[in-house]
Amino acid sequence: MGTDADPRGGARSWARRSTLYQEYLAEREEILRHKWLESEKVGYDIGFDAALIDWVTHHRAGWRRARHAVA
């Protein structure tokens, strides 16, 4: 029974190798880094939502251009 819903982790293994999932993980890491940096600047935790909105608004396009220029 080798379907994508294989309880032994077949679907999870496929997802971890997918380009889309790798892009998600890379973006999430950048957002968390941005959250930490911005929180340090203001002296308190700004929260994930605020960091996400700020990063997408101000940094995502440039980050994607740079990331895909290297690839």
Q: What's the domain count of the chain?
A: 1
4 occurs within a structural domain = no
> Tens of pLDDT along 48-62?
999 999 999 999 999
Q: What is the mean pLDDT of each run of 10 residues along the chain (71 residues)?
A: 54 78 94 98 98 97 90 62
Residue 2 pLDDT: 47
Residue 57 pLDDT: 97
2 occurs within a structural domain = no
Looking up tokens 């690839």 gives 71
48 occurs within a structural domain = yes
Distance CA 10, CA 26 (A): 22
Domain ranges, residue 41: 10-70
Phi, psi (deg, nearest 5) at residue 25: -60, -40
pTM: 0.76
Residue 48 pLDDT: 97
